[in-house]
Structure 1
Amino acid sequence: MSWDNNGRSGASRAVSGAFGIVVVAGLAVLVVRPELMPWRASGDTQPLAAETARPSAAPSEEVFPDRPTLREPFKGSPALRWADGAAGIETPRATAVGWMSKDEVAAALRTTKDFLVAANLDPAVIKGDKPAAALALLDPKQPDVRSDMEKSLVKATEENDPTLLFSRFSPKEVRLAGSVVKTRGRMTVEAGKGENADTVLVRTDYTFVYPVVKVRPGADEVTRTIVRRQITFALPDPAEFVVTKGKLSVHEWSSNAGNDDCDRPVDGFFHPMFDEDMAAVPDAAATGPVVDPYDRSKNLDDLPQECGTSSRT
């Protein structure tokens, strides 16, 4: 696997690839940087209904959105109306699919949710700890995936970075502003086709919004990192494949991290950028295509695979 950073620093990374039951293939990257924006009061704060299908457009964008604060870290963000944490990861109604019974599908959906929660919402993992619970749900018999992630937690590289699957921030730099991560997305299950005919696929598409503040004493500026992940998990028929029943195989994935400084060496953590950071280099111009990290209407693989500019955080 490989990725390519183009231009100077951006503020997010997007990556995509596919994992077979036997082989691992391709990886691409998009890097996005936020812009300074003026602010004004937010509008509707009523919670949104659960997402049941891909939206047709991005959330509306205010010209002068509210500035986030330590007390209200989601001010000015569409995520203000999203569900809190695991409540935003709803599993669909289970039915028999492919080789799996209704009960087996229900168990697979629960395991998928458990993985997403452990990988993206566990407070200890967000603070930079090892995502042991999430790793334990991955099939050790799938070549490379779990073992590569284990290695990346010891030494992260551009080719092998734990943030590809896990949301981790350096505890020396930032902490969550509050205790809530906002979540929105959906999960579906289907029988595989063609070469995957003996496999059940669980497709997930979720965005996680992390409000953070620097750990420096007295720091009060809040910014947000927006991480969207599209991951398809495979449940191969144990009668046909060498797998561990009840564990997940990563079939394919894409991810985008809005507001993650890609100018930093890869170290296995997201590195949010703050207004004060960008004010320190006023002549640094953002370049590349503009991407809205809150836009869930597009497939991540359809985004420009190059450095760009984030329209908001």
Structure 2
Amino acid sequence: MTRHADPNLYDFWPYEHRPKIVWPGGKKLAFWIAPNIEYYEFDPPANPSRKPWPRGNPDVVAFSQRDYGNRIGHLRLMELLDKYGLRGSVSLNIALIDHHPEIIEDCVKRNWEFFSHGIYNTRYSYGMSEDAERSMLHDCIMSVEKMTGQRIRGYLAPALTHTERTIDLIAENDFWYTCDLFQDDQPQPLKTTSGKLVSLPYSLEINDVITYGALAQSPARYTDVLKRHFDQLLEEGEQSGTVMCIPLHAYLVAQPHRIAAFEDALQHITSHADDVWFATGAEIAQYFRETYWDQSIQDIRTRGVPRAGTGFANLSGHP
């Protein structure tokens, strides 16, 4: 049995002395918000690798908590983002098109981006065959395009579950970015058999599922964390452009006792408009692919630690 020291999706690339990134308009930091608009089935099919409801399956209490986001939380969050002129990049469980088309319509009216977060957040990639995973990706692409006219370019695996083929398959299907890797504060080219796939900074550290769930932080603490996270990345962006993403779940951040604290963080971030590019995930990935892809790979080759027999697609002269 062959064992690997790491997934071999990217090479080691030291942060210091990389090619300088400057975002459009000379901005130092690219900022995007990723509302997760999800659907959790009440009694999903079993997957031997993971149980969907920690308290037992099915769980009417946990289901109803998540349903709060689709019934109330998303509208509250949308109205807050409207107030600050911010567009969301929606991490979408594609089944929402059937279950709650009115939410999709609200996003379309706001010219929000959509990217794939699988079909349901209770249907995991673990154990999927290559044909099944490829079919799922095609379903995501076609369903969103039919409903919205938009071609999705980003991917976040359902419940952060993958197969060994996921990254190659999304690159094969002309996705521009993945949110499933957490190794950096700047975009990084990934090693795929085809396409030009970027690892786009998402976040677990400031994801409200982690801060309000696993870490049980107070709203005031979460606001402080967001401000300090932003301030540090903005400072570093003076040397080379950074990326900050806030992943959100409306059943958490849009609770009545939390929404005002989140607004406090947005006020702080938007007050630095001269230095911040407020964008979508697809816009950031497209700009990096078109402007910094080749020189980033060249820099990785020059001073990184590439492994024999591996490489990047779409770079002339590179294996």
Band the TM-score falls in, shorter-chain normalisation: under 0.3
TM-score, scaled relative to structure 2: 0.25
Structure with more helix by fraction: 2
Structure with more strand by fraction: 1
TM-score, scaled relative to structure 1: 0.25
